[in-house]
Amino acid sequence: MPVLGRIPGPCRGRAHGPVRAPRTLREPPPFLDGTQRPVPRCGADASGIYEMNDRAHGPGNGREAMENAAWAAERARRKTPHRVKVRKTALDLALIWAVLGIFAIMATAVVYLASSVLMPITLAIVVGLILGVAADRLGKLGIPPMATAVILTSLFAFLLFFIINTLATPMAELAAEAPAMLERTIERMLPYLERVKWLNVTAATFRSGPLTPEALIENMGAVLSTLATRVTPALVQALIFFGALVFFLGSRLALRRALIIAFNDRARRLSAIRILNSIEQALGFYFATATLLYAAAGVVMTVIAWAGGLPMPGLWGLFAFLSSFVPYLGIALMTLSLAISGLLTHDGLLVALAPAFAFFTVHAIMENLVTPAVMGRRLEINPFMVFVAIIFWTWMWGAVGAVLAVPLSLIAMTIANEMLPQSRIQPKLPG
């Protein structure tokens, strides 16, 4: 059915007959042969122009086809991006890198200075991502998100309390035996230290004066001051961690939806969905598998400590399990501790170092053969990058940073692998 409208241009606003004219274009569209149609001065002229076109191309078909083609060409012209390539000079590149360097330095300073707040929040986000699979399973059972968050947080707190309670008794016994162990260590190491003349170490070097009540009171004040300055921030950070964990698990789906909707086009939204899914799957699979493997390593370490005659073999097994989550540094400290404990327990050098050597061999076999076979190559990160990340985050946030180094490296490599698939980044996650 013909469109009744006004002729745009000079005849706009003037009365005229029922003339078929384009309603949206300011100028009449050109003819099909490419010639420009003259602008009508009145309704009769416009009718004559359209009637000539209809006679040439058929009644109604030629005009409508011309209008559609002209309007489609106009829309395509408006949507076509005009990109202008500007050649950057060396000064421009230096300015860009200088701005990026300043931003990196300022961001590092902010992360270091705000560690008391950012550290527990980051730890809560990482733990929440690891527990995301369990939260989805509980959500499918009809449990509300906030109830799911409370349940998972309570289970995690119970696990931490169980570990702390398990360590309390052995650590108390170790603290009670510390003076005797220190004396035995001095007796064992003193002959070797006396051979090094330039150290000028004698038995009197390790002797202290008599312990008076005044000295005890003075030392007690220093101890209480240290506890007050260390324990209070730790309790505040623990409260921040559990609060952030509850609210993150409760609003995880809403945050995910808001992050996806924040992108405008469909391609970026799909990319965001793939990245979030890959992060949750990688973290969940890695920590679930690593927990089982490191638990087996802890059991083997308990047997090694019992067979090697070391005191408290169960404590050694728990230490082996926890230290395995910190690659390189945790294993090195564990091996060194086993060597020192063996030297304090046994007189023979080979027998004393046997537990440390056995643990290091078992852990090397597990990390180089068992773990790659179970996890596959899709969870591999460059060992050098992991080592640098551990050093950096340990310097920034201490022991918690060392624990977070591997998850943060895994998140960064997963994002890079999803955003730059052509580079085929193959992360290697050592234990």
User: For 169-222, what is each residue's pLDDT tens digit?
Assistant: 777 777 777 677 777 777 777 776 677 666 666 666 656 555 455 554 555 556
Look at residue 10 in the predicted model and tell me its pLDDT.
Answer: 45
Greatest mean pLDDT among 55-59, 205-209, 237-241: 237-241
- Structural domain count, the chain: 2
**306-318 average pLDDT score:** 85
- Give me the mean pLDDT over the 80-92 stretch: 69
Phi, psi angles (nearest 5°) of residue 401: -65, -35
- Taking residues 223-242, what's their average pLDDT? 76
Helix (H) or strand (E) holding 85: none
pLDDT averaged over the chain? 76
pTM for this entry: 0.66
Q: Are residues 10 and 63 in the same domain?
A: yes
Question: Would you say residue 55 has pLDDT above 60?
Answer: no
Per-residue pLDDT of 320-334, as tens digits, reads 888 888 888 888 888
Contacts with 24 (C-beta within 8 Å, 6 or more apart), sequence order: 71
Extract the tokens encoding 310: 């070391």
More confident residue, 119 or 72: 119
pLDDT computed for residue 240 by the predictor: 92
pLDDT tens column, 361-411: 888 888 777 777 776 665 667 778 888 888 899 888 888 888 888 889 888
Q: In terms of C-beta density within 10 A (0-12 exposed, 13-18 middle, 19 or more buried), how is residue 193 classed? A: middle
pLDDT at 4: 43
pLDDT score of 329: 83
* SS3 state at 311: coil
Structure tokens at 399: 């022991």
Q: Are 59 and 156 part of one and the same domain?
A: no
* Residue 224 forms part of a structural domain: no
Position 351 scores a pLDDT of 85
Res 330: pLDDT: 83
pLDDT single digits (tens) 121-156: 999 999 998 888 888 888 888 888 899 999 999 999
Is 255 inside a domain boundary?
yes
Q: Do 72 and 121 belong to one domain?
A: no
pLDDT band at 242 (very low <50, low <70, confident <90, very high): very high
On whether residue 166 sits in a domain, the answer given is yes
Say what the pLDDT of residue 379 is: 63
Instruction: Clarify whether residues 303 and 358 are in a common domain.
Output: yes
Over residues 244-265, mean pLDDT: 89
Q: What is the rounded distance in angstroms from the CA atom of residue 413 to the CA atom of residue 425?
A: 8
Give the separation between CA 342 and CA 337, rounded to whole angstroms: 8
Domain end, chosen from 58, 76, 94, is at 76
Gap between the Cα atoms of 44 and 113, Å rounded: 79
Residues 184 and 270 in one domain: yes
Do the beta carbons of residue 21 and residue 44 sit within 8 Å? Answer: no
Crossing angle of the two packed helices 349-365 and 266-307, in degrees rounded to 10 = 150
Three-state SS at 4: strand
For 180, the 3-state DSSP assignment is: helix
Is 174 inside a domain boundary?
A: yes
Q: What is the predicted pLDDT for the residue at 201? A: 64
Domain that holds residue 34: 1-76
- Asked if residue 250 lies in contact with residue 139, where contact means CB atoms within 8 angstroms, the answer is no
pLDDT of 264 strictly over 70: yes
**Predicted local confidence at residue 11, as pLDDT:** 46
Provide the H-helix boundaries in 177-212: 178-194
pLDDT of residue 122: 92
Q: What is the pLDDT of residue 102?
A: 94
Average pLDDT estimate for 96-111: 91
Handedness of CA 27, 31, 34, 35 (dihedral sign): negative
58 plus 126 within the same structural domain: no
Residue 3 confidence (pLDDT) above 50: no
Amino acid identity, position 2: P
Q: Are residues 290 and 367 in the same domain?
A: yes
167 and 41 part of one domain: no
The arithmetic mean of pLDDT across residues 302-310, rounded, is 88
What pLDDT sits at residue 214? 55
Is 431 part of any domain?
no
Query: What pLDDT was estimated at residue 416?
Result: 83
Q: Are residues 144 and 278 in the same domain?
A: yes
Closest of 227, 273, 278, 229 to residue 253, by C-alpha: 273
Share of the chain above pLDDT 70, in %: 68
Rounded Cα distance between 153 and 160, Å, is 11
106 has pLDDT over 90: yes
Asked, for residue 95, whether it belongs to a domain, the answer is: no
- 140 domain residue, yes or no: yes
Residues 334 and 259 in one domain: yes
Q: What is the DSSP string of 112-167?
A: HHTHHHHHHHHHHHHHHHHTHHHHHHHHHTT--HHHHHHHHHHHHHHHHHHHHHHH
Q: What is the pLDDT of residue 326?
A: 83
Q: Shortest CA distance to 428 belongs to which of 394, 377, 387?
A: 377
Quote the tokens at residue 41: 């001065």
Residue 121 shares a structural domain with residue 52? no
Query: 248, exposed or middle or buried, with CB in 10 Å at 0-12, 13-18, 19+?
Result: buried
Q: Are residues 149 and 258 in the same domain?
A: yes
For residue 40, is it within any domain?
A: yes
What's the pLDDT score for residue 322? 86
